[in-house]
Structures are given as C-alpha cells and as structure tokens.
Amino acid sequence: MVRPTQLLHPQREPAPPRPAATVLLLRDSPAGFEVLMTRRSAHASFAPGAYVFPGGGIDAADASPEAHAQATRRPGQREAHLTQAIAAIRESFEELGVLLARHADGRMADAADIAALDRKGSFVAQCAARGLQLAAADVFVLAHWITDRDLPRRFDVPFLVARMPEGQEPVADEAEQFEPVWVRPADALARHAAGQFFMIFPTIRTLERLQHFAGVDAVLAACAANEEPLWTSCPRAGLLGGREARFMEHEPPYGELELVCPDGQILHPLDWHRDEPTPLLKNVARLTAANPGAMTGPGTNSYLVGDPSTGYIVIDPGPVDAEHQQRLWRATGGAIYAIVCTHSHPDHAPGAWPLQALCAHRPPVLGLPSAATARAASAFTPDRTLCDGEYLVLRSADGTTTHTLEVLHTPGHAANHLCLVLREDGLLFSGDHILNGSTTIVDPPDGDMSAYLDSLDRLAAHGHAHEVRYILPAHGYVIADAPAAIARLKAHRLQREAKVIAAMQAAPEGTLQDWVRLAYDDVPERMWPLAERSLLAHVQRLRALAPGNDGL
C-alpha cells in the first residue's frame, strides 16, 4: 500500500455516514414508465432545492421487533433490508402521504386508510391499529449509495423501488418536500441538462441506468432476481476545467482520485496537462506527451519516479518530441538516474535518446531489446538489458528514503514488454499491457495472445503477493483495485475469444475480415482494422491449442 509519507495532501477523517433509505415509486404510463420525484426545500440542510426521491433517515423504531412483526417479508429478505424497506415506507407516507401497506386480505391501503392516519403520529402503531401490514415484501433493493467523502453530511443509503399503489395520489408535506411530479427518467435527465430540473449526482446516475428498462415489471424483476443491489457506489470528485466533477467506481478517473486524495478532498486536477507534470504522489508524477489519438488515448504517459533527495527514474520517455523531453528534463532538474522503456513501440521508446542527450551525465537507457519479430519502427537496443526480477533502487544520500522498482518481463503486447512495480508503495507501472478505458492490441508476430494472458496471470499473482493496489498505465488515468482490474481484463479477453470461436464456427471458410464483423460487432466499425490484429492473435492461439483443427 502507498506510504502515508508519500501522499500529497494532509489527510482528514471523512464525516461518518448516517443510515438512511430512499424509495423510487414507479408507475407505467402510455409514454413509458415514470418515477415519482419531489423538490426539496430551499432551506434543507442536504441537497437544498434538488429534485429527489422520497426518503430519509432510518430510525431506531424502524428496526424494532414491533416494526418487523408488522411488515410482510419475502423469503431471503435480510433483516437489514427489511429495516430499510420499513424506513422507506414510513418516509414515503410522512413526506408524500403514499402508504405502502396491505390489509389482511392482501388489498393495498386506500384513501380512507391514508385519511385515518396522522403523518406525525407513531406510524407502525397506527398501521397495527388499523390492521395494516407494511408492504416490505413489495419493496426491492435497486442500488446502494454512500455519500461522497468530501461532504460534511454523509448518508449510507439503499435506493429501493416499489410500484405506486393504484388509487393513491402523492401529497407533499410542504415542509421538507414540495411539488411531487411524475416524470420519465429520460425526461428528468433532459430537463436537468437544460438547467430546469436540478438533481444531485446519485439521482442523475440512478436515472441514467433506470431509463434503459422497458417498464416497471422489468425493473422489479431485475431487483427481485437478487436480494443485493444492482450497483453500489461511493463517488469521488476531482477538478475538470477548474470545476468539480464526480465519478463512480467504474469510470476512468475514479482510481486516480482514490490514489491522490484517498480521504475524498477535491484537490486533484483531472485535465490532461502537457506543459508540466501532474503530481500523483510526492515520489510519482506523470507528464503526458502531446500525441493523443485512437491508439494512444490522451497521449503517452511518461512517469517520473523519485524525489529531489534520491534523483529520478523516467519511465517511457515517449515519442521524439523535443518539448516533451525538455519538460521531463526540467521537471527532474536533470537529476535522472535512468531512463526505462517498457517496450520499443514508437510512442514509448524513441524519446529516450534525446532525453539522455539533455543530461550532462548521460543516464543509461534501460529495457529489453526488440525481438526479431518487431516491426522496423520498433527496433530498439538499450544501453543495458534489464533482467526479469531485477531491482532499480533510488536512495537518498542519508539513506532515509528509498524507491525500489522491480522489473517484470511481461510479453504479449510486445515480445520485449516489461512492467515495473514500485515495491514500497504497491504501484504497478503497466506500460501498454493494461490500459484505462480500453484493451491493448495484441499484434502478431511480435504480439502473442497466450503470452499476454500468461503475463496477466503473473501480474495478478505478483500483485497479490506484494499488495499492489494501483495500476499506472501508459495511456489514461490511474486504475484502482488492481486485482479486480486484472481479473476483469482477463475475463474480457476470454469472452472475446469465445466470440472469435463462435465466428470461426459460423463461417469456417471465412477471412479475418468476415470473423471480425461477427466477433467485434460491439466495436465501432472504424476500429475493426485494429481489432483484426487482436483477432489474429486469438486465432493463432486457438490453433496452437488445437493443432490441426482450423475449423475452430
């Protein structure tokens, strides 16, 4: 794990989240299903003026034996989920006069029942007196949100869903909630984008996912299939163009925000700076080359590992770009101990020699020489060949600070590809083996799919043994939860391989162009010429695994 001494910012303890529950009441309509939303008071302590789903804090009474005894329950519905459902039912009644409760004969509560209850009275006791059971069995878990770490008031909130009872009409309490409105998810999102319907981040992201369901039945069926949330998130925020921007765990910037500001402070700029390095830790900075494109994303990331007391190792100096190399030199004050190339592709290695020439002491260019299978543009001979398992150590003069990079040979994307692990901080510099936001191309003959998958397995095992948490790719933001990211990447490659097998079986006499249309039908057609190279790598792997069976 990252050494606390290397974090950029003093840490503070985020506010503890309070338990709460929110319910999305849904109904079908001729134009598509709708969700009930209300506007919060402009004076509310949390999300003032925002359109939200009804809900609020979980009270001790919601978890009481009396409340649980007064509620219907599904098989498999856990105690915690039952309490959350009871809280959501109570809040929807107190805030909107909507009563999710049933009579003994199964009838849903009606207007007469609602009129007989006092919104400010003891909810469970009143329902019991009227012979009503809380319809917790009809309330399902959709999602689980935990308020962002940067906010002073935080909540731990399941987002629940239920069908709106027929014959009931929402009436806002005019204290905390105002203006109940039925709205299609897509319409709410459009109105928000137009500045007419203010919503906070979890509401927006929930509606974005909800809009893809066909109707209420589809939503409830998806939730009923699993008693767990369809997704869970505690968002993080950074700065884009100087403004706050929030992200969920699956979105590309999330891991970088976790690394730089683990306590959730909104301090880290996510813009792709090319004129100066972006600090990630006190001993790691990133400078991105000005070579964005379909193959390079925002550009090639050059990493500076070290600090003024130890000197620096530069990882992947990028393409020949005099300004980029000058910036690397200036950022290190010329105190470069070594220049390491993860592989010899033209966007990674050629800048090594111009950078070396800028340094008075000419630091060695390190890496693995390109194989005979490499294309001419990727020919590369380092000053010194690195050995698998070798350590590159930076140490301060007084011996109090060290930064140790371990070399791992990881063929697959290229025969001479290597990764580096910063041992003290659990960071993996993955070169092109693992990218953020896309999968790397494996281009035969220098690329080899079996070697690529084997290298993923090696990185997973090594990361587990040495507590590697973050991946710093050559293209894109930092990736968090390295073990899960590597597992997802391998699963993706094997799923793609299954589609390649299906394409080959569907068109046994087909060409690569025929197969790519079938196996990469979920990829934009403009990317098919590139995808064809990885498809060829899969085909070669399959034929090697089953020699003599070209009809795979």
- Percent of the chain with pLDDT strictly greater than 90: 92
How much is the pLDDT for 178? 84
- Assign 551 a pLDDT band (cuts: 50, 70, 90): very low
End-to-end distance of the chain based on CA atoms, in angstroms?
44
Asked if 24 contacts 159 with a C-beta cutoff of 8 angstroms, the reply is yes
| DSSP 8-state symbol, 360 | T
pLDDT digits (tens, 9 = 90+) for 196-220: 999 999 999 999 999 999 999 999 9
Domain 276-480 has CATH 3.30.360.10: no
The average pLDDT across 300-329 equals 97
pLDDT digits (tens, 9 = 90+) for 529-541: 999 999 999 999 9
How much is the pLDDT for 549? 53
How much is the pLDDT for 548? 60
Asked if 156 contacts 19 with a C-beta cutoff of 8 angstroms, the reply is yes
The secondary structure of 198-264 as a DSSP string is ---HHHHHHHHHHTTSSSHHHHHHHHHT-SS-SEEE--EEEEETTEEEEE-TTSTTHHHHHHH-TT-
Distance CA 468, CA 453 (A): 19
Q: What is the mean pLDDT of the chain?
A: 95
Helix 449-465 × helix 482-506 angle, to 10°: 160
Which class would CATH give 18-234?
A: alpha beta
The closest alpha carbon to 24, from 91, 79, 94, belongs to: 91
The number of angstroms, rounded, from the C-alpha of 170 to the middle of its chain's C-alpha atoms is 36
pLDDT digits (tens, 9 = 90+) for 226-262: 889 999 999 999 999 999 999 999 999 999 999 999 9
The average pLDDT across 448-462 equals 98
The secondary structure of 282-301 as a DSSP string is TTEEEEE-S--BTTTBT-PE
pLDDT digits (tens, 9 = 90+) for 57-82: 999 999 999 999 999 999 989 999 99
- Percent of the chain with pLDDT strictly greater than 70: 99
| DSSP 8-state symbol, 6 | G
Asked if 312 contacts 332 with a C-beta cutoff of 8 angstroms, the reply is yes
Asked if 10 contacts 39 with a C-beta cutoff of 8 angstroms, the reply is no
Query: Which residues are within 8 A (CB) of 536 and not within 5 positions of it... i.e. 6 or more apart?
Result: 444, 512
Amino acid at 423: R
pLDDT digits (tens, 9 = 90+) for 122-155: 999 999 999 999 999 999 999 999 999 999 999 9
